[in-house]
């Protein structure tokens, strides 16, 4: 059976999965969504015994129906291989009595973005072949720190593709910046913008929607696509690890058959938690989806009041990958709670671009009961890292700590005793300075790179290869531009002969 994709702003537009992956964003500015959310067609009893790769296939085949079995398995095998430092790919760490950290940071760039971005280039090149695309595909990416590196690693030197990454100059950690600026590859460009992540993201969206530019580039043999989580090719692979986590809890007899669990996700662009919601809709027994924000708590306010309002100060926090005021993927959820009403969705999103806010109806709000929301201040986050370290010796990164804090807060407040899976989205090595300072104030004076060695002593966890790689790598990218000059930067990169 074929599953088609439609735009959240135009239900008439129907395309195949491979076309949706190639396009990234719909021409009307909407996001592609499956016409119908599939229900798992394999039993938990079967999933219990599957490897990560087998689980990924079982989930993805139901979304990407125009890929053949051979194509999809080939993409999966190339993605989830020795680039990950464990065969489990996404191991579960049981910490304290009833919390399980789903470690999604064992890939090449030590953040959860690797879970999807190690497969996206393969899905995209396969999709290009299937659709007889002759143009070179130009991946435009805005990053709050982790997507950029994961996408660069995935697309570097991929034939038929180029990639341009924009990151906020003062909005990423030292390790994140070095990971990007030392990226090798003849088809890559990295540019720091004078602005924040939202500026980068809206700049990229504007370039996508610029039909004139698209025409101009078409003549030169280029077409744009996206590696951001607006691309359905990012979202679908992420559903797999929630299915895998549940099946592993069952296999390890941590839970009984059919037992509901809660899932807590440190949230920025709403991609990861939306994948968990899709997993629930596919039939995984998930109770609450706990949406955790840092001090940029626009989503917490939205779930509490029904009003999404981005008119507020942008806070730079110790969890920079969640410093976001416009959570793009929320549009996919909004579309669902409107009853798949494209006009209503378009109207609400128009409010967001115009006045910077919108309010959902009461009827829509009722459909959000699967979600709980909370936020952690900078102090809460640091306290959570220190507390869990002192109690258990386990070291969390700052993003994961936001979710762990909100998860505990929810449990205390509600008395909901269901076991909780916390999406652990980055290695603490990526945010060593903040993590170490949270554990002990004495580290505040030490420099970022020295702290990496110190972290090894404290956590007992080997330094990941991704960190070793940047310690003496050469900086290759120093380009900077103003947020309103991103289009010129893209053109300059594509038009130069190299």
Smallest separation (angstroms) from ligand PLP to the CB of 465: 18
Beta strands in 212-370 (DSSP E): 222-226, 261-266, 286-293, 307-309, 357-359
Cα 391 from Cα 109, distance rounded (Å): 28
Quick one: 130 or 430, whose CB is closer to ligand PLP? 430
Cα 212 from Cα 460, distance rounded (Å): 54
Stretch that binds ligand PLP, among 107-115, 203-211, 240-248, 331-339 (CB under 6 A): 107-115
Quick one: 59 or 426, whose CB is closer to ligand PLP? 426
Smallest separation (angstroms) from ligand PLP to the CB of 212: 30
Beta-bridge mates of residue 136: 222
Q: Render 83-100 in DSSP notation, one character per residue.
A: TSSSTTSS-EEEETTTEE
Residues 185-214 that bind ligand PLP (CB under 6 A): none
Smallest separation (angstroms) from ligand PLP to the CB of 47: 23
Stretch that binds ligand PLP, among 15-23, 111-119, 340-348, 361-369 (CB under 6 A): 111-119
Question: Of the candidates 271, 374, 428, 464, which one interacts with ligand PLP according to CB under 6 A?
Answer: 271
Quick one: 9 or 430, whose CB is closer to ligand PLP? 430
For Cα atoms 203, 335, 260, give the angle at the middle one, nearest 5 degrees: 110
Contacts with 155 (C-beta within 8 Å, 6 or more apart), sequence order: 121, 139, 161, 162, 163, 185, 187, 188, 227
H/E stretch holding 241 reads: helix 232-251
Stretch that binds ligand PLP, among 105-113, 131-139, 362-370, 404-412 (CB under 6 A): 105-113
Does residue 229 belong to the site contacting ligand PLP (CB under 6 A)? yes
Cα 151 from Cα 120, distance rounded (Å): 9
Residue in this structure with the two tokens 């680039």, named with its chain if needed: 83
Residues 310-329 that bind ligand PLP (CB under 6 A): 321-322
Contact 36, 65 (CB under 8 A): no
> Side-chain half-sphere of 493: how many Cα atoms within 13 Å?
25
Does residue 268 belong to the site contacting ligand PLP (CB under 6 A)? yes
Does residue 374 belong to the site contacting ligand PLP (CB under 6 A)? no
Stretch that binds ligand PLP, among 92-100, 261-269, 339-347, 435-443 (CB under 6 A): 261-269
Stretch that binds ligand PLP, among 86-94, 205-213, 264-272, 332-340 (CB under 6 A): 264-272
Q: Using CB atoms within 10 Å of the CB of residue 279, give its burial: 0 to 12 exposed, 13 to 18 middle, 19+ buried.
A: buried
Quick one: 229 or 489, whose CB is closer to ligand PLP? 229
Question: Of the candidates 151, 426, 451, 481, which one interacts with ligand PLP according to CB under 6 A?
Answer: 426
Tell me which residues are annotated as active site.
113
SS3 13: strand
Contacts with 419 (C-beta within 8 Å, 6 or more apart), sequence order: 98, 99, 100, 249, 254, 255, 259, 261, 262
Q: Determine phi and psi for 496, rounding to 5 degrees.
A: -75, 150
Quick one: 138 or 291, whose CB is closer to ligand PLP? 291
Does residue 237 belong to the site contacting ligand PLP (CB under 6 A)? no
SS3 11: strand
Does residue 61 belong to the site contacting ligand PLP (CB under 6 A)? no
Smallest separation (angstroms) from ligand PLP to the CB of 121: 18
Question: Of the candidates 8, 272, 345, 434, which one interacts with ligand PLP according to CB under 6 A?
Answer: 272
Contacts with 445 (C-beta within 8 Å, 6 or more apart), sequence order: none
Does residue 111 belong to the site contacting ligand PLP (CB under 6 A)? yes
SS3 183: coil
Does residue 232 belong to the site contacting ligand PLP (CB under 6 A)? no
Stretch that binds ligand PLP, among 13-21, 57-65, 262-270, 376-384 (CB under 6 A): 262-270
Residue burial 34-71, b: 16+ Cβ < 10 Å; e: rest: beebbebebebeebbebebbbbbbbbbbbbbbbbeeeb
Smallest separation (angstroms) from ligand PLP to the CB of 82: 22
Stretch that binds ligand PLP, among 40-48, 68-76, 108-116, 383-391 (CB under 6 A): 108-116
Smallest separation (angstroms) from ligand PLP to the CB of 327: 7
Work out whether strand 92-95 and strand 99-103 pair parallel, antiparallel, or are unpaired: antiparallel
Does residue 267 belong to the site contacting ligand PLP (CB under 6 A)? yes
Question: Of the candidates 8, 269, 318, 489, which one interacts with ligand PLP according to CB under 6 A?
Answer: 269
Q: Site map for ligand PLP, 120-149, x if CB under 6 A?
A: --------------------------x---
Quick one: 18 or 269, whose CB is closer to ligand PLP? 269
Quick one: 229 or 409, whose CB is closer to ligand PLP? 229
Contacts with 283 (C-beta within 8 Å, 6 or more apart), sequence order: 39, 40
- What number of chain residues touch ligand PLP (CB under 6 A)? 17
Smallest separation (angstroms) from ligand PLP to the CB of 162: 23
Taking residue 495's Cβ as centre, other Cβ atoms within 10 Å add up to 11
Does residue 381 belong to the site contacting ligand PLP (CB under 6 A)? no
Quick one: 222 or 277, whose CB is closer to ligand PLP? 277
Q: Name the site residues for ligand PLP (rule: CB under 6 A).
A: 111-113, 146, 229, 266-272, 321-322, 399, 425-426
């Amino acid at each position: 059976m074929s599953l088609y994709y439609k735009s959240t702003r135009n239900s008439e537009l129907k395309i195949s999965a491979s076309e949706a992956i190639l396009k990234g964003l719909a021409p009307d500015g909407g996001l592609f969504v499956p016409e119908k959310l599939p229900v798992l067609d394999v039993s938990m009893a079967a999933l219990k015994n599957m490897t990560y790769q087998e689980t990924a296939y079982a989930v993805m085949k139901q979304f990407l129906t125009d890929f053949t079995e051979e194509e999809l398995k080939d993409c999966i095998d190339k993605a989830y291989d020795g680039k990950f430092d464990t065969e489990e790919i996404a191991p579960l760490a049981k910490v304290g009595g009833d919390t399980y950290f789903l470690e999604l940071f064992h890939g090449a760039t030590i953040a959860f973005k690797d879970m999807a971005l190690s497969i996206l280039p393969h899905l995209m090149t396969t999709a290009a072949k299937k659709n007889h695309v002759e143009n070179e595909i130009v991946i435009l990416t805005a990053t709050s720190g982790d997507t950029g590196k994961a996408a660069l690693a995935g697309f570097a030197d991929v034939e038929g593709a180029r990639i341009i990454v924009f990151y906020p100059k003062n909005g990423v950690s030292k390790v994140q910046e070095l990971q990007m600026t030392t990226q090798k590859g003849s088809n890559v460009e990295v540019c720091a913008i004078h602005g924040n992540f939202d500026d980068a993201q809206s700049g990229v969206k504007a370039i996508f929607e610029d039909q004139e530019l698209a025409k101009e580039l078409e003549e030169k043999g280029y077409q744009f696509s996206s590696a951001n989580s607006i691309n359905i090719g990012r979202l679908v692979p992420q559903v797999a690890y929630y299915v895998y986590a549940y099946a592993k809890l069952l296999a390890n007899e941590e839970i009984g058959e059919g037992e509901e669990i809660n899932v807590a996700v440190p949230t920025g662009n709403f991609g990861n938690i939306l994948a968990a919601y899709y997993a629930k809709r596919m039939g995984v027994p998930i109770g609450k989806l706990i949406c955790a924000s840092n001090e940029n708590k626009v989503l917490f306010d939205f779930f509490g009041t029904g009003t999404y309002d981005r008119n507020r100060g942008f806070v730079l926090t110790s969890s920079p990958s969640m410093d976001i005021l416009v959570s793009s993927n929320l549009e996919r959820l909004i579309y669902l709670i409107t009853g798949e009403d494209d006009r209503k969705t378009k109207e609400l999103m128009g409010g967001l671009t115009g006045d910077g806010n919108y309010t959902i109806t009461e009827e829509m709000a009722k459909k959000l009961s699967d979600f709980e929301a909370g936020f952690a201040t900078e102090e809460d986050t640091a306290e959570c890292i220190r507390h869990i370290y002192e109690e258990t010796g386990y070291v969390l990164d700052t993003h994961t700590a936001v979710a762990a804090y909100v998860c505990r807060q929810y449990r205390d407040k509600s008395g909901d005793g269901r076991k909780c899976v916390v999406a652990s989205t980055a290695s603490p090595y990526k945010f060593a300075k903040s993590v170490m300072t949270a554990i002990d104030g004495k580290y505040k004076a030490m420099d970022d790179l020295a702290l990496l060695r110190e972290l090894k002593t404290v956590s007992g966890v080997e330094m990941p290869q991704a960190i070793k790689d940047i310690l003496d790598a050469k900086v290759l990218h120093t380009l900077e531009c103003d947020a309103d000059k991103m289009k010129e930067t893209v053109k300059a990169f594509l038009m130069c002969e190299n």
